[in-house]
Chain A
Amino acid sequence: MIRDLTEALGGFLRTFGALQLFFMRLLAESPRVLMRPRLVSKQIFNTGALSLVLIMVCGFFVGAVIGLQGFSNLSTFASEDLLGFLSAMALIKEMGPVITALLFAGRAGTALASEIGLMRTTDQLSAMEMMAIDPVVRVAVPRFLGGALSMPFLVAIFTSVGILGAYVVGVPLMGVDSGAFWAQMQDGVAPADVYEGIIKSIVFGVAASLIAVWEGYNAIPTAEGVGRATTRTVVITAVTVLIFDFMITAVAIS
Chain B
Amino acid sequence: MDSENIIEIEELHYARGARPIFSGLNLAVKRGEVTAIMGPSGTGKTTLLRLITGQLVPDRGRICVDGDWLSELNRSGLYDMRRKIGMLFQNGALLTDMNVFENVAFPLREHFDLPRRLIRHLVLTKLHAVGLRGAANMQPAELSGGMARRVALARAMATDPSILIYDEPFVGLDPISMGVIVRLVRRMNDALNISSIVVSHDVQEISSVADRSYLISDGKVAASGSPDELTNAPSDLVRQFMHGMADGPVPFHFPAPDYASQLLGSNKGDKS
Main secondary structure on A side of the interface with B: helix
B111 within 8 A of A: yes
In the complex the two chains form, is A134's CB within 8 Å of B89's CB?
Answer: no
In the complex the two chains form, is A132's CB within 8 Å of B79's CB?
Answer: yes
In the complex the two chains form, is A131's CB within 8 Å of B106's CB?
Answer: yes
* Residue of A122, A130, A134 touching B85 (CB-CB under 8 A): A130
**Contacts A129-B55, A129-B82, A131-B82; A123 near B110 (Cβ below 8 A):** no
**Contacts A122-B96, A130-B82, A132-B80; A138 near B110 (Cβ below 8 A):** yes
* B111 contact set on A, CB distance < 8 A: 132-133
- Produce 1/0 per residue, A109-125, CB < 8 A to B: 00000000011001110
Q: Could you tell me the distance in whole angstroms from the C-beta of A192 to the nearest C-beta in chain B? A: 43
Residues of A within 8 A of B (CB): 118-119, 122-124, 126-127, 129-134, 138
Residues 23-52 of B at the A interface (beta carbon under 8 Å) = none
B125 within 8 A of A: no
* B110 contact set on A, CB distance < 8 A: 131, 133, 138
Q: Could you tell me the distance in whole angstroms from the C-beta of B172 to the nearest C-beta in chain A? A: 15
Inter-chain CA distance A130–B96, complex, in Å, is: 17
* B91 contact set on A, CB distance < 8 A: 122-123
B53 within 8 A of A: yes
* Residue of B80, B93, B159 touching A124 (CB-CB under 8 A): B93
Inter-chain CA distance A122–B159, complex, in Å, is: 22
* B80 contact set on A, CB distance < 8 A: 132
A-B residue pairs in contact (CB < 8 Å), sample of 10: A118-B96, A123-B89, A123-B91, A126-B89, A126-B93, A130-B89, A131-B106, A131-B155, A132-B82, A133-B107
B83 within 8 A of A: yes
In the complex the two chains form, is B107's CB within 8 Å of A122's CB?
Answer: no
In the complex the two chains form, is A123's CB within 8 Å of B93's CB?
Answer: yes
* Residue of B55, B83, B86, B96 touching A126 (CB-CB under 8 A): B55
Q: Could you tell me the distance in whole angstroms from the C-beta of B75 to the nearest C-beta in chain A? A: 8
Closest residue to A138 on the B side, CB-wise? B110
Most buried by B among A118, A127, A138: A127
In the complex the two chains form, is B79's CB within 8 Å of A134's CB?
Answer: yes
Inter-chain CA distance A131–B158, complex, in Å, is: 10
Closest residue to B83 on the A side, CB-wise? A132
Inter-chain CA distance A51–B8, complex, in Å, is: 52
**Contacts A122-B93, A122-B96, A123-B89; A131 near B55 (Cβ below 8 A):** no
In the complex the two chains form, is A124's CB within 8 Å of B79's CB?
Answer: no
